[in-house]
Amino acid sequence: MENNVIEQVFGKDVFNDEVMQAKLPKDVYKSWKKTLESGADLDIEIANVVAHAMKEWALEHGATHYTHWFQPMTGVTAEKHDSFLSPASESKPVLEFSGKELIKGEPDASSFPSGGLRATFEARGYTAWDCTSPAFLQEDAAGVTLCIPTAFCSYTGEALDKKTPLLRSMEAISKQAVRIVKLFGMDDVKKVSCSVGPEQEYFLVDRDKYLQRKDLIFTGRTLFGASAPKGQELDDHYFGAIKERIASFMKDLNIELWKLGILSKTQHNEVAPAQHEMAPIFTTANISTDHNQLVMEIMKKVAKRHNLECLLHEKPFAGVNGSGKHNNWSIVTDTGVNLLDPGKKPHENKIFLLFLASIIKAVDENAELLRLSASNPGNDHRLGANEAPPAIISIFLGEQLEDVVEQIVRGDVSSSIQGSKLDTGVHVLPVLKKDATDRNRTSPFAFTGNKFEFRMLGSSMSIAGANFVLNTIVADTLQQFADELEKADDFNKAVKEVIKKNITEHQRVIFNGDGYSDEWVAEAEKRGLPNVKSMVEAVPYLVTDKTVELFERQNVLSKAELESRAEINYENYSKTINIEAKTMIDMAGKQFIPAVISYVTSLADSVNTVTAACAAADVSVQTELLTKCSSLLAKAQKALANLEKVTAEAAEKEEGQEQALFFKNTVFVAMEELRAPIDELEMIVDQDFWPVPSYGDLLFEV
């Protein structure tokens, strides 16, 4: 019998544990595993043998090149390809790949953002093998390449990428969580890791139409566009039947992902027309981060095969939902215990409650940092805009845990609400057991059974940032708890006290109501919760004394590294808005204004021709349109001139915070002022004159 396609392709292009076991000498495999499990330094002898096996496997699969695959601060992945050809070879090719080449690479790093950490003349940057994430093969027109996941740092060891702080944060949280679980007698636990399952939203549009819009090409979002007559109001797209063209894209996508060992599990249509979602099964945070980068790249690649374009921007279309990424996160021991699993009786589960308290405290104390970790210029369109969680960080616990929390605060803990039966009233349907808690889709940070779901992330972002912040802030509260508990005389009493004290002190961050409502904004303000409205306003929190101390204490980022990241954030914001502004200037000046002039001229011609033919004819429609279009045209021209002026002014500002603020407060506003009259014109100008596909064409004709 023919095997199922998943069985045939799964992990085919990955140098995974199974392949290593088969290819490596037994003793090498064993010491390799030990290194991996203990997190100890890698022996070069072992690396040499692994490199050899990796090369042999890659060659068998047709690879000609290898690359250190890394994740610089641009947010996309980078690679520099070297062939396996050895320099020693003269007549006959010798294909070589040593342990040294496996563990260390040196791409010229001068053109990657470093936020001042490295002057361009000090170009050295190193990539170091992340041996915890398996190597894989990628095939494109250039052939097959062996990709080695790596971290990227400067000559002096500073992190220049998204991966390094993530790996450091995983060590930090492991160290502190192990201290805690040991206190509870779980002596066999040596390591604790964070599991992450990111749900990825995206749009698919027809590629021919996409190529007719410079805004989509240059910025990933539409900078102009009147709403289509239909939007998402009928809720008929959400979980709706998947169109055939999309289904065949999804089928291809799954196969490509499965080949790379990516556990693509769920797929469905999302809220907005042309919007979809893919969710993988969760895995360790760094692997999940690598996988999510691959998911985004492969979505784009596979889409093109179907003459589609995959839009990962957070807000490709105004007026319909944008795309986010839900980061499902939990803490699991190497013995397989999920420390965020409340069990049947959460009120009695001390270890769970202690971890819960540490998370509540960490989130409350570092809300601004979490908010920043979910910020990029695109996500500014979503957070707080009634489709994504508000910019206010709060925690949803659900009925059952909220009740336990109330009991803890009151000081008499005695019970946990249990899930009841769900009776549909139809006899042929089974009676289902209800979860103890319903879902709340409006919360930015929600407990969902045995994990937290951080829902603020933008669809195009690397998930590394959110996870290293989460790991680091929780590591820090766990450290404080461990310090206190290790010296307690009466451990049980001390645990109860730590839980009660911290939950009581940080209860204000818990909110189970509707996060989209105006009442919540007012209520949050009363509770003293921060409401940081934009990315640019969130950046300063990266370099406060409090943050620097916290990140240095946990050895995740140094002051210099944090400062560089703040600079990169400002730079990224300014550059993004600058490109958007310039694209608008280009489209308005070269496409929309000329199109409207042609239309207005045709109206004027019509008035002249009609009245010449019949002096008594009624040309009021043409005249009315002519007047209206001309007035909007003048408005657009004025707004265009203003946008040109302020964009030029922005270039003169001092780089960093000042420039970013100017882009946000002045240039962005001028962009909106240009968009308004043009969108209005789109509604009245004859569609034959309109130079780009409309929202209706893009969203409904896939």
Residues forming contacts to Mg ion in the complex (CB under 5 A) are: 199, 326
Q: Tell me whether residue 460 or residue 564 sits nearer to ligand ADP (CB atom).
A: 460
**For residue 193, what are the β-bridge partners?**
332
Angle among Cα 425, 429, 430 to the nearest 5 degrees reads 105
Per-residue x/- mask for ligand ADP, residues 412 to 451, rule CB under 6 A?
--------------------------------------xx
Cβ of residue 445: shortest distance to ligand ADP, in angstroms?
13
CB nearer to ligand ADP: pick between 201 and 206: 201
Within 366-487, residue ranges assigned H as helices are: 367-373, 398-410, 464-486
CB of 234 to ligand ADP, least distance (A): 21
What's the first-to-final CA gap in the chain, in angstroms? 37
Minimum distance from CB of 279 to Mg ion (Å)? Answer: 7
Min dist CB 326 to Mg ion, Å, is: 4
Question: Based on CB atoms, which residue is closest to Mg ion, 199 or 402?
Answer: 199
Calpha distance 312→75 (Å, rounded): 12
Stretch in the footprint of ligand ADP (CB under 6 A) among 230-238, 276-284, 485-493, 692-700? 276-284
471 near ligand ADP, judged by CB under 6 A: no
Give which of ligand ADP, Mg ion, none residue 118 binds (C-beta under 5 to 8 Å, depending on kind). Answer: none
Residues 6+ apart with CB under 8 A from 496: 350
Minimum distance, C-beta of residue 388 to Mg ion, in the bound complex (Å): 12
Distance (Å, rounded) from C-alpha 701 to C-alpha 691? Answer: 17
- Do residues 402 and 450 touch, judged by C-beta distance below 8 A? no
Q: Smallest distance, Å, CB 455 to Mg ion?
A: 7
Of the pair 449, 691, the CB lying nearest Mg ion is at: 449
- As measured in angstroms, the least distance from the Cβ of 155 to ligand ADP is 36
Question: Can you tell me the distance from the alpha carbon of 50 to that of 636, in angstroms, rounded to the nearest whole number?
Answer: 63
Label residues 380-389 b or e (16+ Cβ within 10 Å = b).
bbbbbeebbb
Coil, helix or strand at residue 287: helix
Contact of 154 with 114, CB cutoff 8 Å: yes
Contact stretch for ligand ADP (CB under 6 A) within 153-161, 274-282, 405-413, 487-495 = 274-282
Beta bridge partner(s), residue 310? 204
DSSP 473-511: HHHHHHHHHHHHHHT-SSHHHHHHHHHHHHHHHTGGGB-
CA distance 126 to 402: 48
Binding positions for ligand ADP, 179-198, rule CB under 6 A: 195-197
- DSSP secondary-structure letter at 664? I
The binder of 567, among ligand ADP, Mg ion, none, by C-beta within 5 to 8 A per type, is none
Query: For residues 311-370, which are near ligand ADP according to CB under 6 A?
Result: 326, 328-330, 338
Partners of 402 in the beta sheet? none
- Closest CB to ligand ADP among residues 462, 659: 462
Least distance (Å) between residue 390 CB and ligand ADP: 19
**507 binding partner (options Mg ion, ligand ADP, none; Cβ < 5 to 8 Å by kind):** none
What is the spatial distance between Cα 50 and Cα 98, in angstroms, rounded to a whole number?
Answer: 9
Among positions 237-266, residues that touch ligand ADP (CB under 6 A) are 266
- As a whole number of angstroms, the distance between CA 267 and CA 355 comes to 32
282 binds ligand ADP (CB under 6 A): yes
Q: How far is the CB of 270 from ligand ADP (least distance, A)?
A: 10
Residue 280's binding partner among ligand ADP, Mg ion, none (Cβ under 5 to 8 angstroms by kind) is ligand ADP
Q: How far, CA to CA in Å, does 81 sit from each of 87, 89, 106?
A: 15, 19, 11
Instruction: Give 340 or 498: the residue with its C-beta nearer to ligand ADP.
Output: 340
Contact positions toward ligand ADP, by CB under 6 A? 195-197, 199, 266, 279-282, 326, 328-330, 338, 450-451, 453
